[in-house]
Amino acid sequence: MTPDRRLTPANKRVADPSLRDSWAGVDYVDPQPFSVHWPLVDLMNVPEGHRERQLLFGDGVDVYEVFKGWAFVRSVKDGYVGYVPNSSLAQCPAPTHRVTAASSHVYRRADIKSMDVMRLSHGCLLHVMAEADGFAQTADGYIALQHLGRVQDPKTDPVSEAKLYLDTPYLWGGNSRFGIDCSGLIQAALLACGIPCPADSDLQEIALGERLDAGSTLTRGDLIFWKGHVAMIVDDTRLIHANAHAMATCYEDIDTAIARIAQQGGGEVTSLKRVLGDR
């Protein structure tokens, strides 16, 4: 079977030692841990290539190689492989907090009138050094405590997390409040709740949850998959999804969405999955 390039930590020069028996003619490299230190960075298929996914501030990566300014990395959160500018990475302390608001600002000082130095999306990870006067202090500045949650205290309702992205513009391969696609939305919602989640919808359909029979009664948090698309059930009549039809994250009537997608050439529903179970 041909290995999935998205999840195979190997290129023409280096490979993970676990691939020694299947990937010949390269150097086998033990990866080095780094973190993303830009607010957002595209994960490219090749240097100067196209965006396949995005990584957020604080996301951990395994670095296998730096070549001509590009780092060949594997994302810790989902195993996705690709290239980012080496300048986007740094060695940072382990994150203690996650941005739980839709987005937030990092300020130069612990003062809302201070100059903001970064804008961060929901899901960004930070190492907080101290807390005072309603702000968390990080190595890069100060962020309002109201916008943070401890990483060891995950949320419990993925639908509520997905709602934070309502009206976010659709972006193919996007993973942030500033632009997101269907699988990025599902991953952001589930990771916020401490549920491991692959990056792309086909991988999510394979890995996530329990398959439901066609005609099953869908409940809040269930997932509907089509070929190349995924949505999350909100209630008895609505789903939420990031979609190119609206060019945004939005609610849509479940039956209307199923009919529209089929009519527009997206095919029939391929599976229904229950992720939450007895949580």
- Name the DSSP letter for residue 85: E
Cβ-based neighbours of 265, under 8 Å, separated by 6 or more: none
* E strands in 96-254: 97-99, 103-107, 116-121, 125-126, 130-132, 135-138, 141-144, 148-150, 175-176, 179-180, 210-212, 223-226, 229-233, 238-243, 248-253
CATH numbers and ranges of domains, the chain: 5-90 (2.30.30.40), 97-150 (2.30.30), 158-274 (3.90.1720.10)
Tens digit of each residue's pLDDT, the chain (279 residues): 789 999 999 999 999 999 999 999 999 999 999 999 999 999 999 999 999 999 999 999 999 999 999 999 999 999 999 999 999 999 999 999 999 999 999 999 999 999 999 999 999 999 999 999 999 999 999 999 999 999 999 999 999 999 999 999 999 999 999 999 999 999 999 999 999 999 999 999 999 999 999 889 999 999 999 999 999 999 999 999 999 999 999 999 999 999 999 999 999 999 999 998 754
